[in-house]
Structure formats: C-alpha cells, structure tokens
Structure 1
Amino acid sequence: MKHVVFISFYALLISESFSLMAAPSSPSSIRYCIDPDWAPYESLINGQHIGLSRQYLTLIEKNSELTFTLIPTESWQQTLDYIQANKCDLIPMLNSTTNRKNFLDFTKVLFRAPNALYGHYNQPLVGHLANINQQSVAVVTGYRLHRYLLEHHPKINIVEVENEAQGLTKVQNKEIDFYLGSFHGANKYIKDNALHNLRIVGISELEDKLRIGVGKSLSHIIPTLNQAISQITIAEHAQVFSYLKDINTTQVKDYSMAIKSASAFIAVIICLLFGYWRSVNNASILEAKNKALELAHQQLDEKNKQLADLAIRDSLTRLYNRGHLSECIQQQIKLKERYNKNACLIILDIDDFKNINDQFGHKVGDDVLQHFAKQLTECARSVDIVSRWGGEEFVILCPETNIDEANVIAKRFQQCLVETSSDALPCVTCSIGIAPLRESKSADQWFIAADNAMYQAKELGKDTVFIVENA
C-alpha cells in the first residue's frame, strides 16, 4: 500500500513539473527601458521615469497583475541595444517597424500622434517631404523617421542627431534647414526653451502609432498587456492626454545645498533671509515669464494650426489641394488592396472657362471658381474628398462608392449648378469623367482613366457625364 501511495505521489509531481514547463509564467517584475530624452512621451529626470508612458504603465499595472522595474539608459540607441541584448524585457512606447519586429513583438496601439517638419521663420513653407530637394533635414538616429527618410526620400540631405533638442537647436542656429520629429515633443521643447524663431513648415505623412514592444522571450504576455490596454477607459486616456498641457515650463532653483554648506549659524540666518527676499522679489518675475511662455505657446499652437491647414488647402477655394488629394488616393488604393473597398474618382472641368476670363476678367473668373467650389462642397457627401486639382479642374474622391452612386453625385451637382445660377455671375456648365478603382491600378493609372473620361465628355458636347466602365 505504501508503494502505491509513493508511486501516485511521484506521478503527480512529474505531472505538475511538466505543466509548469509547458506554460511559461510572467516574471514577478518586468524590466523595461525607455528613451531618456523624449519628453513629454517619456524621459528620465533625476533617475525617475516621467511622461505619458509612465502613466500608461501605471494604468496597466492597475488592470493586471504585472509590475515593472526601470532599467535606466543614457540614450535611445542604448535602449535599443539593451532590449536586443536581453538586458531589459520591454519598451513601453515606440512605433512598430519591420526591423524592430526581428527582436520585438508589439501590442495594440496605445497612443497616436502626428509628426511635423520644423524650420526657421526665414524658411518658406514646404508642405510635404516630397517638396524637399537637397536641403538638410535633421532626424534622431535610430528613430523610425530616420529609417523612413532613408527608404522613401533618398534625395534629402539627412543629418543625424542624438536627440530632439540637438536637432531643434541646430535649426534655431541656422546650421541646418529643417528638423523632422514628433509634434508634441518638439512643441514642448520649443516652449520650454523659448525658441520663438521656429515654426512648423510642413506635415509628415507618417503618423506615430505608439505601442508597447516586448522582447521575444516574453511574447506570451502580449495578450495580458492587450487586455489591460483595452480596460483603460476614455476618461483615463483623456487624463493621460491632459498631461501634455500640465507640464511645468519654469523651475525655481534649489538653494538648500548652499544653506547647508554655511559654516556658522549667523551665515545660515543671513542665507535664509536672503533666499526669502530673493524668492519674494522673483515671484512676480517668474509669474510674468510663465504667462509670457504660455501666451507664446498659445500663439505657436494657433500658427501651427494655420500652417497645417495652409499645407493641405487651396488658397483661393479653400478646398483640399493636389498634395492632400494624392495622399488620400494612395490610402484608398491600400484599402482596395487589403479589404477590396470600392471607390470612384470624379473629375470635373468647367466648360469654356477661358472665355469667362477673356470676357469678364480674372476677378470674375476667381468668383466663378469660388462659387463652383462652394456648390461642390454642398452637393458632396461628408465622406467625399473634394479638391481643386488646378486651374478650372476639380476632383472628388468617393470612398466606398460604386459607379452608379458616383453617377448620382455627378448628376446632382449638374442640377445644383443650374438651380444656383444668378445674374451676378456668368452661368457655367462642366464636363465630368468618372472612373472606378480597379485592382492592381496605380494612382496615376486611376487618375488618367478619370481624366480621359472627362475629355470624352467634352467631345460629346460638354455639360455631360462620361463613365469608364473598365478603367
């Protein structure tokens, strides 16, 4: 009987051992590294991790049984080296790239943010990276934007910098032309250091989609992290985002060490009195500086919004411009490739517009273009992208739209032109071409098909719609 009990206990012990070996458990505390100089997303101040990623880690700890231990590093490149050398297990906030997937697995998106191009006020507006040719652009070594420039914009003169501060300072000092970096991070540094000669001169098409990156040896905790992220409420996300507005921009010097170093009691008293007097005297100065910085930041934000809008809008009609439309077309092609989403391109050209300029003058011609654009906007749906391609030619990108639905939009606009005609402006008509998006078609091929359809409409007598069935 004793032998039977011993054998049963031994079998149970072996079973439990195999069970533990088969299901890896999460470590009691997960080691993580950050970018030590990427405020406000994350940074090291006196050895303490602060920023958005720290707040998100706190929420994840609350929503799971995971705990995290910081492994300090001196640079972003060292953080990447540490994660690959297994000196830390996790990076709490970074973009997913093809190269990083070789040594990291990624959670769902935690935070989204734009990237912008910064230049000196003496620099003209650029709009998009494609408009830069042979000019110098600084970017932080090892950032996703660095690899993106190398792969997609090889003509740009890339200047590698160690951090965001170095890149923005070089632009301020006119050592280089532009700096490409995160919108929130660059704006914070500009505000904190009063770099009022800098402004946004363009918008990057590459958006930051920040995630948690986990070393391959701990990839089994990805579901736990994703579940914890899903449990973060909208209010908690909003509270984290509010951190961007709550950052202190002025720090008061600490005189405690000078006081402690005094060699006599009377010297301590004198230092205390002097420190008190100085703090009272500087209170109004510090308050004025903070107000000035806050006002400068508000003005910078407002200018940035205006510049961002100018970069994607046509100055005369306020419709989207050619550059923004081109980006939207590329996005629609990707949706077609991945999800087989329908889309149509509508090209409209005002008939005999040259005669209007010749007979009534360019001022009336501009008024006709503005009226035409206004009617286009009112007749289009909220999902449609309405743009001015150039001159008297306009384009509507219609997502998730088949040929029949696009034809209805075109006919409705023709009717709208008739109903809104007045004695104040010459009556106009337009020729319209429609082309659906077909598989394996490039942006140029799609646009040429719609453009040819528009010219077919003109050959049929103008003021008509021509549809390309097999674009």
Structure 2
Amino acid sequence: MFLLNINVYANSETEKTNLIYCVDPDWFPFESIKDGKHIGISSDYVKFVAMDAGLELTFLPTETWQSTLDHLMAGTCHITPMLNKNEARSEFLDFSDTYFNSPNVLVSQKNQPFLKDFDQIDDQVVALSEGFRINDYIKQKYPEVKTRIYASVLEGLMSVADGETDIFVGSMLSTNNYIQQHGLHQLRIAGWGGPEDNLRFGVIKSQSDLLPLINFSLSQIDDAHKLAIYHKWNNITVIDNTNYGLIKKMVMYGAIAAVFLLSYLWMMKRYNRQLQQQNVELNRLKSELTKSNQKFKKLSTHDLLTGLYNRYYFDMALAEESSRYDNDNPIALTVIDIDYFKRINDQYGHSTGDVVLKLFAQLLKDLVNDMDVLARWGGEEFVIFSNNTSLQQAHDKCFEIQKQLKLTTFPGIEHITASYGIASLKQNETMSACFQRADQALYKAKDEGRDRICIADAAEIVSSSA
C-alpha cells in the first residue's frame, strides 16, 4: 500500500479520518497505476479533496477495474474517485455530485462504415471493458447486440485491431490515448457511443457520512483549477493558480498593528505596496486565464496537430447545414485518405508522419473554398463539406488537389498520393447515409489501386484518376 502524506485539516475541529481508496488501474488519462502509484486526472482531485476535507487516504493498488469493484463490495476499499453511478453500484456505494463529464464513442477499423449510434449495429460483435456502466446500458437498451467482455480498454481496442471483434465502446479521452500511444492507426472513431460519462466519487455505504465533506471540497475547485488539471494530463501547458499566501500575511500584520501602534504606518505602507503588486499579478493571471480559456475552446473544435476543425466540430456543422438543405442548394461530401500512411510511419517514423499530415492539411486549406468546412476526421483521413457544390464541382476540386499533390515534395519521402470518395446529399437522405456512401466510394478508390477519385450515387460508383 502507498500512503499519501496528507496532514492538512478542513478546520481545527475535524479529526483525521484514515480511509483506503482504489482506482481503475488502466483507464488513462482519467486514472491509472504506474510504478505502484496513482496517476491521472482523478489523482489531482483526490489530493485536493483529501487536503481540503482533512482525510488521510491509503492507496490500495488493484490489477483490474473489476478487482477494484470487488474490493468496494467487500468493504476492503472505502472510496473510489472516478466512476459512473448505476443501479448495480448503488447497492453498495453512495455517490458524490458529478465533477467531470466525458462522451463515449464507437471505435472500428477504418474499412468499416461510419456508424451514427447503436441503432446501426447489426451482426457486428461489440467489445466492452469489464465492469463499465456502458455495459448495462447496452444490455438494457440493445439486448440484441452481441458483446464480448475484456479486462481493460486496451485489450478491447486490440481485439478490434486484430479482427476478433468489430466495434469497441469506450470513453473518447481514454480510447484516443491508447490508439495514439500504441500506434493503432488502423482504428478510427466511427460514431457516438450512448450516454456520456458523468463521473463522481463513490463511497461505500458505511462511510456515506463523508459525502457532504467530499461534495463541499469538490465545490471549492474553480474552473481555472479544473482546466489546469485537464491540461496537465493531456500534455497542455497552463498557467499556475494564484498564490494566496499574502492574504495570510495581511491578517497577521493587522493583528500585530493593533498591539504595536508605532509600527502600524510602516506595515500598512509595506502592505499596500505588496497589495498593488498582487493586484498587478492577479490582473496578469486573469488575462492569461482568459487566453487559456479561449485556447481551450479552440482545442475542443480543432485538431491539435494540423489546426483543422476536428470531428466534433464537423458533426455539428453537418447537423446545422443539413437542416437547411434544399434542392437549389446542393451539398457535396468528400472523404480523403492518404495512401499507405501506415507504411510512412513504420518506415520513416511518427515524426515524419506528423510532418506529412501538417503539409497535406495546409495543401487542402490552400485549395478549398472559404465556404467549405474542412476537418481532420481522424488519423490520415480528412473530410470536406461543400455547400452549394455539384458532384462535378467536387470532382474538379479533388482533381486539383490530386494535381497539386503530385507537384508537392514531402521532406525525406518525396511524393505521396491520396484516394478520394465523393457523394452528394439526396432529398430526404440523412447526412449519415450520405457520408457512408462517400466512405464507400473512398474504399472503392483504394480497391481500384489508390490515387483515384470515386463518385458514389444511388445506382453505381463511377471511378476516375488523374
């Protein structure tokens, strides 16, 4: 066991409470165990709550998330800091207020069609992590879906990569982390995976009197602190929070001034100087925090590597634009995939692969119209939403990209090619169905030898190349 050296109390009347807590050992960046130590987003919330509420917490490492749940049911672990509330867990746990939210997604191999949600899963086998709340949701809402349980998120993702299963369901943050960390570039986010995670502290029922303390401590964490925690575990630099030690000095100096009248003026002058400096610092931090919040807002809608819009923003744009569709305003969807990108990563390294993605994204930005919505869909796949654009115009745009790509040199590897799939939104057709036809056209282009432009329609797929 590993002891957090926490000896700070909420107030002088609070007695130190010694409790055992355990976490999911393999759910990074939310929480994980590395070298026997608790790391991840929940680790910072545990430290803050323990210090603020005057709790002494002893960490109990476990092998799997199911093992953690077993310890909680047996009472050998008292608290877990980050989980969803459901009916089964409510039999042996009480829960704090929600303090962190995260969406769930569907993950499949890239050659599989886009899925809007669970309603589009037919005979495919879905991989799930043992003990997760989403498992109960699927069992209740979609009992016909075939599922297979794995001990961890990584094992579930590997089963999809190896072809044992077709789809994995899990949190967007954790799945994206493992896909990038383990080079699972054959996988992509294929749809949204049910209700989002509403994460809370869970406390065994015999210790439920701790919940008011925990909820109060959580309420003391302001947005700036939450943002700093999020950035810390997602490798984003943020500014430090304000140091309030000066306020304690103010109280101390005020008391001394009441006793030592002769020193009062000197102390007040010194104090005012420090206060002015502190106000300058607070204004500076406020300005930096505003910039950081603006950056965080941009991060939620933009891809970090290429600067293009991300999939989340693109989905919102599709929903908004499709609601305004009419026959006089044709809409074209184009899906583009860099050919043999995995070979580039394997042969030249991921740093070279990143350079290729950046240069390719810049080439697309230079060639698409200002009214187009250009996004990185995931990995080496890009999408273009073109309003008031016919199939012929979309084809011509792809042909121009294809020509410019042949003239562009990429450092260390000379030239690359890409494949293109195009579809036009039909009357009464959903945007999801249109995207799926464009995706099928893309894979038709790849099947026919890559470096090709394929146009999909209701009757057939027509292919062309430069």
When normalised by structure 2's length, the TM-score is 0.51
Q: How does 1:239-388 map to 2 (within 5 A)?
A: 239-246=228-235, 298=305, 304-305=311-312, 308-309=315-316, 313=319, 317-319=321-323, 364=328, 366=330
Report SS of the residue matched to 1:185. helix
| Distance in 2 separating the partners of 1:230 and 1:365 | 49
2:174 is the counterpart of 1:167: no
CA distance in 2, matches of 1:197, 1:228: 43
Alpha-carbon distance in structure 1 between the residues aligned to 2:146 and 2:186:
22
User: Is 1:225 aligned with 2:214?
Assistant: yes
Distance 1:392 1:175 in 2: 33
Partners of 2:48 and 2:95 in 1: how far apart? 18
Shift of 1:142: 1.1
Specify whether residues 363 and 111 from structure 1 end up closer, same or farther in structure 2 by C-alpha distance, changes over 3 A only. Answer: closer
Tell me, which stretches of 5 or more residues in structure 2 are unaligned?
Answer: 1-13, 238-301, 332-386, 388-424, 431-466
* Kept in 2: contact 1:191–1:296 (CA 8 A): no
* 1:334-382: CA deviation from partner (whole Å, max 9, x where unpaired): xxxxxxxxxxxxxxxxxxxxxxxxxxxx963759xxxxxx9xxxxxxxx
The answer on whether the counterparts of 2:104 and 2:172 sit within 8 Å (CA) in structure 1 is yes
Cα deviation, 1:67-112, whole Å, max 9, x if unaligned, reads 2110111111111110111101011100000111110000001111
Q: SS at the partner of 2:311?
A: helix
Question: Could you give the per-residue CA deviations for residues 306-334 of structure 1, whole angstroms, max 9, x where no partner exists?
Answer: 66447x627xx43399xxxxxxxxxxxxx
SS in 1 for 2:55: coil
Change (3 A) 1:223 1:140: same
| Contact preservation (8 Å) 2:24, 2:68 | yes
- Take 2:324 and 2:153, find their aligned partners in 1: how far apart are those partners? 31
Is the counterpart of residue 178 in structure 1 residue 178 in structure 2? no
**Does the CA contact (< 8 Å) of 1:119 and 1:171 recur in 2?**
yes
The DSSP-based 3-state class of the residue aligned with 1:154 is coil
1:127 aligns with 2:116: yes
Which structure 1 residue ranges, 4+ long, deviate > 2 Å from structure 2? 25-28, 295-310, 317-321, 362-367, 388-393
3-state SS, counterpart of residue 145 of structure 1 = helix
User: 2:125, 2:310 → 1: CA distance?
Assistant: 23
Shift of 1:143: 0.5
Change (3 A) 1:320 1:161: farther
Q: Which residue of 1 aligns with 2:131?
A: 142
Asked whether the equivalents of residues 80 and 203 of structure 2 are also in contact (C-alpha less than 8 Å), the reply is yes
Tell me, yes or no, if the aligned pair for 1:64 and 1:224 is still in contact at 8 Å. yes
Amino acid of the structure 1 residue aligned with 2:172: F
In the superposition, relative to structure 1, how do residues 363 and 145 fare at CA in structure 2: closer, same or farther (>3 Å)?
Answer: closer
Q: Is the 8 A contact 2:66 2:130 kept in 1?
A: yes
* 3-state SS, counterpart of residue 313 of structure 1: helix
Secondary structure, counterpart of 1:122 in structure 2? coil
Q: Which has the greater radius of gyration?
A: 1
Contact 2:84 2:198 in 1 (8 A): yes
Is the contact between residue 46 and residue 81 of structure 2 (CA under 8 Å) also seen in structure 1?
yes
Distance 1:111 1:67 in 2: 23
TM score, norm. by length of structure 1: 0.51
Is 2:15–2:54's contact at 8 Å kept on the other side of the alignment?
Answer: no
**What residue number does 2:416 align with?**
none
CA–CA separation in structure 1 for the residues paired with 2:153 and 2:180: 13
Q: Which amino acid in the other structure matches residue 391 of structure 1?
A: N
Q: Is the 8 A contact 1:313 1:320 kept in 2?
A: no
Is 1:200 aligned to 2:237, yes or no?
no
Pairing partner for 1:74 from 42, 55, 63: 63
Residue 65 (1) aligns with residue 54 (2): yes
CA contact (8 A) 2:303 2:310 kept: no
C-alpha root-mean-square deviation of aligned residues, in Å? 3.2
Check 1:320–1:233 CA distance in 2 against 1; reply closer, same or farther (3 A cut).
farther
Question: Are residues 1:391 and 2:428 paired?
Answer: yes
The alignment partner of 2:38 has SS state of strand
Number of positions where the alignment pairs a residue of Structure 1 with one of Structure 2: 261
Q: Deviations over 1:42-86 (max 9, x none)?
A: 111110100011110111123221121101111111111101111
Distance 1:163 1:119, change over 3 A: same
Work out the CA distance in 1 between the residues paired with 2:80 and 2:147. Answer: 26
Once residues 319 and 149 of structure 2 are traced to their aligned partners in structure 1, the CA distance between those partners, rounded to angstroms, is 32
Asked whether 1:115 is paired with 2:121, we answer no
Aligned-residue offset at 1:390: 6.7
Q: Which letter maps to 2:319?
A: R
Helix, strand or coil at the partner of 1:245 = coil
**Structure 1 unaligned spans of 5+:** 1-24, 249-294, 322-361, 368-373, 375-387, 394-471
CA offsets, 1:136-193, max 9 Å, x none?
1101111001111111111211111111101111111222111000100000001111
- 1:49 aligns to 2:55 (yes or no): no
User: Would you say the 8 A contact 2:327–2:427 is kept in 1?
Assistant: no
**Could you say if the C-alpha distance between residues 194 and 221 of structure 1 is closer, same or farther in structure 2, counting changes exceeding 3 Å?**
same
Partner in structure 2 of residue 236 of structure 1: 225
Asked whether the 8 Å contact 1:116–1:202 carries over to 2, the reply is: yes
Q: Per the alignment, do residues 231 and 365 of structure 1 end up closer, same or farther by CA in structure 2, a change over 3 Å counting? A: closer
* Percent of aligned positions that are identical: 32
Structure (1/2) with the larger helix percentage: 1
Deviation (angstroms), 1:244: 3.6
Rounded to whole Å, the distance in 2 between the matches of 1:174 and 1:320 is 40
8 A contact 2:16–2:54 mirrored in 1: no
Equivalents in 2 of 1:121, 1:301: separation in Å? 20
Q: Secondary structure at the match of 2:212?
A: helix
- Relative to structure 1, is the Cα distance of residues 210 and 134 closer, same or farther in structure 2, using a 3 angstrom cutoff? same
Q: How far apart in 2 are the matches of 1:181 and 1:188?
A: 11
